[in-house]
């Protein structure tokens, strides 16, 4: 028999959690204009094949987009990779953190100066705090000098429940956004382990202000901000 | 999902574990575990939903429904179904990836570039 407390909590769950029927629905796709992508699109018609790293969820659309233009694309879903249970460790204060050394020993293993473009999307906003700086450091090293990185950051107006999206390139400056709904298949990381820590989706970990973003990319040669209407800043940095 | 029935299709069932070099001149369906290398020059490999392949693969066509770890060289096409978990670089002429498939690695469409280079 359910306790009073359990019944009380149901009131909250019913208002914030989708019903099983809702959660099984195919996530709707939204379209948004991206100034940062528009800037990058000048590169797509390059005669020289580009080497592109897509750090979002595996996107058939993006793979088709780049391979159709003769470019090479690497796909690596770092958010899913960050949910590997073996990464969890404790810091000196006994707090649960993720082991960034182990993470970088298993992920982003590319030769130095390998990529022309890195599509970071909204990775930094949803990645665990302990991994953000080490990952950005590694991304700097795998980008070619002059290579470009595109990242999206929420503004302070975004709430903690801001959904995590995967991004599909459907035009020169147009993205299709698809809310990430964690399914059983998607919870399997590279080792095939089921990641029970993930409930429905990834949660917004923090909101960076402009100064934080500049500090995060301080090793890069230049940084450019594009403010969008949907509480998102697009940032394009050049190594 | 069961393997498609065909006279020229070899099957490795889900309780079978193989370590070593696999080569052949017929299509192969793997629903078990294979570790090593798979060479099926003019034929296709299908990794079934229970399949766990840890091998370099050289085949005409590759369809993945299960788990594949290793580089894939396919002279014709690669299909990653929605339940596929692939870690490795893929070189092929054509590729199709279903929503939900997981890929960690490079996709290189070799046909166009090779033709342009006169290879």
Q: What is the 3-state secondary structure (H, E, C) of A123-181?
A: HHHHCCHHHHHHHHHHHHHHEEEEEEEEEEEECCCCCCCCCCEEEEECCCCEEEEEECC
Residue B7 has what pLDDT? 60
Rounded Cα gap, residues B108 and B119, in angstroms: 15
pLDDT band at B111 (very low <50, low <70, confident <90, very high): low
Instruction: Report chain A residues touching chain B, CB-CB < 8 A.
Output: 49, 58, 60, 63-64, 67-68, 70, 72-77, 80-81, 183, 185-186, 188, 190, 192
Please give the distance of CA A209 from its chain centroid, rounded to a whole number: 18
- Find where tokens 């100066």 sit: A113
Q: Tell me whether residues A77 and B104 touch, CB distance under 8 A.
A: yes
pLDDT digits (tens, 9 = 90+) for A207-231: 999 999 999 999 999 999 998 878 8
Instruction: Report chain B residues touching chain A, CB-CB < 8 A.
Output: 52, 67, 82-83, 85, 87, 95-109, 112-113, 116
**How large a percentage of chain A has pLDDT more than 90?**
61
Mean pLDDT of B20-24: 95
Residues of chain A positioned with their CB less than 8 A from the CB of B95: 63-64, 67
DSSP A226-237: EE-SSSEEEEEE
Domain ranges of chain A: 27-238
Q: At residue B117, does pLDDT exceed 70?
A: no
- φ/ψ of B54, rounded to 5, equals -120, 85
Residue A18 has what pLDDT? 43
Please give, rounded to a whole number of angstroms, the shortest distance from the CA of A46 to a CA of chain B.
Answer: 14
Residue A9 has what pLDDT? 36
Q: Which of B67, B100, B109 sits opposite A67 (nearest CB)?
A: B109
Q: A34, A151 in Cβ contact below 8 A?
A: no
pLDDT digits (tens, 9 = 90+) for B26-41: 999 999 999 999 999 8
DSSP A2-44: --HHHHHHHHHHHHHSPPHHHHTSPPPEEEEE-HHHHHHHHHH
Q: Tell me whether residues B87 and A190 touch, CB distance under 8 A.
A: yes
Give the residues of chain A that fall short of pLDDT 70: 1-27, 182-200
pLDDT digits (tens, 9 = 90+) for A24-58: 455 678 999 999 999 999 999 888 899 999 999 99
Looking at 2.40.30.260, 3.40.1080.10, 3.40.50.150, 3.30.2320.20, the CATH number of the domain A27-238 comes to 3.40.50.150
Q: Which of B85, B106, B113 sits opposite A74 (nearest CB)?
A: B106
């Amino acid at each position: 028999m359910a306790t009073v407390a359990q019944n009380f909590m149901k009131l909250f769950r019913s208002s914030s959690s989708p019903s099983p029927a809702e959660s099984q629905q195919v996530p709707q796709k939204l379209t948004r204009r991206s100034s940062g992508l528009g800037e990058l699109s000048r590169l797509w018609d390059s005669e020289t094949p580009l080497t592109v790293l897509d750090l979002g969820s595996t996107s058939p659309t993006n793979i088709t987009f780049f391979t159709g233009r003769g470019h090479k694309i690497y796909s690596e879903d770092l958010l899913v990779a960050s949910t590997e249970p073996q990464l969890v460790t404790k810091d000196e204060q006994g707090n649960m953190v993720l082991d960034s050394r182990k993470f970088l020993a298993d992920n982003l293993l590319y030769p130095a100066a390998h990529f022309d473009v890195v599509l970071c999307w909204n990775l930094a906003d949803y990645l665990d705090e302990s991994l953000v700086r080490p990952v950005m450091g590694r991304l700097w090293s795998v980008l070619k000098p002059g290579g470009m990185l595109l990242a999206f950051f929420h503004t302070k107006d975004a709430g903690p429940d801001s959904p995590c999206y995967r991004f599909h390139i459907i035009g020169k400056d147009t993205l299709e956004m698809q809310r990430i709904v964690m399914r059983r298949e998607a919870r399997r990381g590279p080792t095939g382990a089921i990641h029970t820590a993930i409930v429905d989706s990834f949660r917004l970990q923090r909101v960076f202000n402009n100064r934080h973003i500049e500090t995060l990319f301080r090793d890069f040669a230049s940084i450019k901000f594009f403010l969008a209407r949907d509480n998102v800043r697009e940032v394009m940095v050049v190594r | 999902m069961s393997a498609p029935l065909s006279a020229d299709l070899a099957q490795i069932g889900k309780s079978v574990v193989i370590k070593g070099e696999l080569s052949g001149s017929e299509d192969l369906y793997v629903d078990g575990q294979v570790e090593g290398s798979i060479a099926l020059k003019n034929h296709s490999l299908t990794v079934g939903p229970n399949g766990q392949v840890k091998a370099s693969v050289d085949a005409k066509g590759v369809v993945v429904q299960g788990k594949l770890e290793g580089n894939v060289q396919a002279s014709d096409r690669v299909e990653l179904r929605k339940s596929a978990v692939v870690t490795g670089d893929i070189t092929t002429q054509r590729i199709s990836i279903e929503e939900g498939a997981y890929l960690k690695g490079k996709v290189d469409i070799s046909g166009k570039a090779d033709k342009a280079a006169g290879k």
